[in-house]
Amino acid sequence: MKKTYWIVGVLLVLQTLIVVPNASANSRDSKKIGLSIGFLTEPYVGAIGYNLSYNLAHFLRLGVGYASLSGTAADPTTGISADWSLKTFAVDAKGFIFNCNFTPFVNVGFSSLTLTGTPSIGGSSLSFSGSTIYYGGGIDWQTDLGFNLGVEYKTASKNGTSLGLPGFYFGWYF
What is the C-alpha separation between 14 and 111, in angstroms, rounded?
Answer: 36
CB contact at 8 A, 41 and 136: yes
Inter-residue contact 48 to 37 (CB < 8 Å)? yes
Task: Give the range with max mean pLDDT: 2-6, 43-47, 146-150.
Answer: 146-150
Q: Please, what are the domains in the chain?
A: 31-64+89-109+129-173 (2.40.160.20)
**Residue pLDDT, tens place only, 83-95:** 888 899 999 999 9
pLDDT for residue 106: 97
Across the chain, mean pLDDT equals 86
Rounded CA-CA distance 147/36 in Å is 10
Instruction: Give pLDDT, residue 73.
Output: 83
Confidence (pLDDT) at 80: 79
Predicted TM-score of the model (pTM): 0.77
Query: What three-state secondary structure class fits 70?
Result: strand
- Distance (Å, rounded) from C-alpha 23 to C-alpha 43? 33
| Three-class SS state of 78 | coil
Residue-wise pLDDT tens digits, 32-58: 999 999 998 888 888 899 999 999 999
Residues of the chain above pLDDT 70, percent: 86
Residue that wins the pLDDT comparison between 71 and 15:
71
Question: Do 19 and 143 contact (CB within 8 A), yes or no?
Answer: yes
